[in-house]
Structure 1
């Protein structure tokens, strides 16, 4: 007999007001809260099936590797590049040309650009499982550190330089992106040189490989050819993609972090009060 009154009481209970999402907060912010990403810092990958991937390069943190990547893109070395490895919940890897001489002018043995003296960063108020100190640089990058050193974390979409065993650090001729749960054990062991900011599905939704337990494509016929890899500033103006990042210095940025950490009604009822650094990506948007 008590069920009907209870249902009536629940039906009459006012709904909790919807809480703005991080995306809504970012889009409502003034134009001054957004900064332009330089075309020189965008690596564009076009596939024969019409899909495009755009990678935001990080020259402030891996200057030698990024300089190599620009030279490799401009040299034509990647004219036969393919995706040759897709390991489920781990990485998609591309490049190729181990039998080819490296492009002229690149640094064949770059320094290990895995960590550096900390650069100024907006503090992340939420504890990270892998690093004692985390935050966001003025240029829009999430960074991890221990107070003495700082590094870019291997979050979903992070782009790293494939390498052989140490002392090899890789040249940048072969790259990978994280397509699964953030493998933070790779932090400070491999150079992170950028972040996929558009077209992630063209890398994460490819058929999985089975070779060597590493997701390698065993049959060369499985290799996925890449039609073109170019620096955006080298493309005709009409073809250049344009993107902006949300400035961590903007007054709305703490609200964005809070909204990601404590998502609200109507779906979420209980705030978490915590957020992994990799769940706090700096917003990026495409400019028409």
Structure 2
């Protein structure tokens, strides 16, 4: 037996040595899923709009949750929307327009329902905001989460240092150093001189002078905007729509954006397309009734929606952006080397009730 063991040991010395299989490269979704709890920011229920539609043909409830945009973007319209929700104005209205590859729209199809008092008329100048206004609002980033505010502050001026941050952001992937933001993707946009994800929201920007920029939200899939008539009308916020197709970026700075759908998008994209002009339903029976629209904090505590969003100040998000721009996970053959602003949906996840 001793000689057999020695022979086996000797034989093992001449067998080929195989390198260990390289670790699989994570997908963007896997990177987000692996992000530590400290990289996630709670979304305040007061910043969520909960819309309950009439059940579907099988009796299944249909709930849509919309996250409202933080200050300083579109705050005049968002103030109106909060008043409309508090007045339960949308109860009994309907989804009345579904245009293929474009938008689903809802509100009062008759245009005769009185609006609540106290709504403001918002000027067209509010379609954009300045870097000064953003710097002021940054102190109350999203829901005032102190950790998020500290993280943002640690990165320095969120506006004037955008390019420097993107060039300096370095992460480690498979033992190599690579730029998370990929130099140049910010400037490859067809509709804005500069694009970025600012405080978890996709925005376009242009420089107006030394240290002065103006920024605006952009129309990506799921974005929610304010329907309006011809200029100078900007809409009250009573008529809302969401993008259900290719991003209509030509609408940027022409219509107010006030938020995005974060849950229930399937109930808005799967509806029958309207056959009237612009996709409006010609038959009243086609309209989908809206049972109620409430701010999240107006619901009973046990029913309030709870969601978290991945902080764009985190290393996890930088890795996520890099992975979106350069897919290295097994299915992909050639990384793209760039990414469209609307192809970087910031990860949002529901929080299980405790």
Using structure 1 for the length normalisation, give the TM-score. Answer: 0.90
**What CA RMSD, in Å, does the superposition of the two structures yield over aligned residues?**
1.6
Equivalent-residue separation in structure 1 for 2:22 and 2:327 (angstroms): 13
Higher gyration radius (CA): 2
Equivalent-residue separation in structure 1 for 2:226 and 2:40 (angstroms): 29
User: Is the helix fraction higher in 1 or 2?
Assistant: 2
Q: How do 1:136-151 residues align onto structure 2 when only pairs under 5 Å count? A: 136-138=197-199, 140-147=200-207, 148-151=213-216
Equivalent-residue separation in structure 1 for 2:64 and 2:350 (angstroms): 13
Q: Give the length in aligned residue pairs.
A: 272
**Are 2:69 and 1:58 aligned?**
yes
Equivalent-residue separation in structure 1 for 2:221 and 2:332 (angstroms): 23
1:129 is aligned to 190
Gaps of 5+ in 1: 1-13
Of residues 209, 215, 220 in structure 2, which corresponds to 1:155? 220
Over residues 79-109 of structure 1, what are the superposed CA-to-partner deviations in whole Å (9 max), with x where a residue is unaligned? 22100000000000001151122111111x2
Over residues 145-194 of structure 1, what are the superposed CA-to-partner deviations in whole Å (9 max), with x where a residue is unaligned? 11232110000000000000001000000100000000000000000000
Using structure 2 for the length normalisation, give the TM-score. Answer: 0.74
**Are 2:151 and 1:90 aligned?**
no
Equivalent-residue separation in structure 1 for 2:329 and 2:28 (angstroms): 13
SS of 1:85 mapped into structure 2: strand
Which aligned segments of 4 or more residues in structure 1 are displaced greater than 6 angstroms?
Answer: none
1:35 is aligned to 41
**Are 2:81 and 1:69 aligned?**
yes
2:92 is aligned to 80
Equivalent-residue separation in structure 1 for 2:311 and 2:23 (angstroms): 28
Q: Single out whichever of 259-268 and 177-186 deviates more from structure 2.
A: 259-268
Cα distance, 1:114 vs. partner? 1.0
1:267 is aligned to 331
SS of 2:33 mapped into structure 1: helix
Q: How do 1:1-288 residues align onto structure 2 when only pairs under 5 Å count? A: 18-49=24-55, 50-60=61-71, 61-96=73-108, 98-107=111-120, 109-112=121-124, 113-118=126-131, 119=134, 120=158, 123=166, 125=182, 126=185, 127-138=188-199, 140-147=200-207, 148-212=213-277, 214-288=278-352
Gaps of 5+ in 2: 1-19, 56-60, 135-157, 167-180, 208-212
